[in-house]
Amino acid sequence: MIKKVGIIGAGTMGAGIAQVAATAGCSVKLYDTKTEALAKSEKDLNKILNRLVEKERIDSEEKQRIQDNIQYVNTLKELKDSQLTIEAIVENLEIKKNVFSTLEKFVSDECIIASNTSSLSIASIASALEKPERCIGIHFFNPAPLMKLVEVIPAIQTADETLNISVKTIKDWGKTVAVAKDTPGFIVNRVARPFYGEALRIYEEGIASFSEIDKAMKEIGGFRMGPFELMDFIGNDVNYTVTETVFNAFYFDPRYKPSFTQKRFAEAGYLGRKSGKGYYDYSEEGKMSVRGQSSSSSNENEEASAIFERILVMLINEAADALFWNIASAEDIDNAMTKGVNYPKGLLAWVDEKGIDWCVEKMDKLYDEYREDRYRCSPLLRRMNRENVTFFN
C-alpha cells in the first residue's frame, strides 16, 4: 500500500494532487525549486480547506490532518523515501526526462515514478530511467481535488506490477480510473478535439457565430459550456498548443488540423478569461459578454440542431476510432468523457441512443460534401452498422 508520496511541482496541478493524496491519508512531500511557489501552495491550500470547513464538508480536525500530511521541500533528495512520485511540471519532454533521471538517483528501486503529462509520450519519458519499468503516466484533470477522472497510461516498458499498484492507489484516493494506451492525447485530449476543431470550422465557414454555436451545444446538447466558452476558460494559447501537438504527433492527420482562427486569437493575445478578451469579453469580475461577433458571411445560419449534430457525430466518430485502435475500453472511454470533461453523456452510449446507422450516414454526408479525410467514418462504426450491433445494449 502506498503511504509516502512525492509530488514534483507546486503549481495548481501539483498542489491539487498533493491535496488529494493528503486527504486520502498519505504522507506527502511537495517539491518545487521556487520557495515562493511552495509558500503560495501552502497559503492556497489553507484557503481551500477553510472554505470546506465553512461549507461543513470537513471539520477543523480534518483540515489540520490534511495540512499535517503535507511537507513542503525544495530539494529532490527530500523525496528519497517516497513509494510513489508524481511529476506535474512544464509540458517539456527534455525537462521531464532530466528531472526523472535525477530523481532516480535518490529514490528506492521500488519507487514508482509517474508523470502527470496530458499528451507526451510515456515511453519517451521512461527511457530516461535506468529502471523504465517503474515509470507510468498518471494524468489528473484540473482541478484535481474536484475532477473524478484520472487517466493511467502504461508505457511499453511499464511493468504489470507498476500498473496494478498505480490503479489501486488512485482508486483508493477516491478517483475513477481510465486505463489508456500510450498514444497522443491518451483518451480525453484525443477524443475531445472535434469539440473545439469542428466548432471553429463551422465558424470559419460562416455558418454561425461563436455564441450561436455555444448556445446550440448547451441548449440542445446539454453541455455545461460551449466550445468557445471552454476554449476561453482553458486559454486559447493552451488549447491551440494541445491541438498542434496532437496534430503533429498523429503525423498531420487532417482530423486534428489546427484552426487559423484560434492561432490568430492566440497570437493577438486574445487568450480568454485570463487576458480579459477571447471569443468573448470578460470584466475584471470575470463576467462574460458577447462582443457583437456575428457570422463571418451573409449566409443564413444552419439550425442549431444541425450545428449540434455535426459536432456530436464528429465526437462520436473520434470515440469509436479510439476504441477501434484499442486506446481504451468502451467503458473507460465513456467514463473519461463524462468524468474528465463533464460531457452530459458518454459518447459511445450516445451513439447507441442515436443509432449507428445515423452516425455512419452523417459522416458519409460530410465526406461527400467536403471530400476531406477529416470526415472519414471510423471502420468500427461501419462494421457495427453492417452487423447491426451496439456498444453497450
pLDDT of residue 297: 47
Mean pLDDT in each 10-residue stretch from start to end of the chain (393 residues)?
A: 97 96 98 96 96 95 97 97 97 95 97 94 97 98 94 98 98 97 96 98 96 96 96 93 92 96 96 95 88 51 90 98 97 96 96 96 98 98 96 88
Integer Cα distance of 306 and 292 in angstroms: 23
For the question of residue 189 being annotated catalytic, the response is yes
For the question of residue 151 being annotated catalytic, the response is yes
Burial of 284-293, coded b for 16+ CB within 10 Å and e otherwise, reads: eeeebeeeee
For 33, the 3-state DSSP assignment is coil
pLDDT of residue 302: 80
pLDDT of residue 300: 46
For the question of residue 118 being annotated catalytic, the response is yes
C-alpha grid cell, residue 266: 492566440
- Write down the catalytic residue from 41, 189, 259, 295: 189
Q: Residue 3 gets which letter from DSSP?
A: -
- Write down the catalytic residue from 118, 119, 209, 259: 118
- Write down the catalytic residue from 41, 87, 119, 139: 139
For the question of residue 139 being annotated catalytic, the response is yes
What single string gives the DSSP state of each residue in 203-264?
A: HHTTS--HHHHHHHHHHTT--SS-HHHHHHHH-HHHHHHHHHHHHHHTTS-GGG---HHHHH
Q: Which amino acid is at 331?
A: E
For 366, the 3-state DSSP assignment is helix
- Write down the catalytic residue from 87, 116, 119, 151: 151
C-alpha grid cell, residue 43: 497559503
Burial of 252-264, coded b for 16+ CB within 10 Å and e otherwise, reads: eeebbbbbebbee
Predicted TM-score (pTM) of the model is 0.92
Closest among 89, 87, 49, 40 to 68, alpha carbons compared: 49
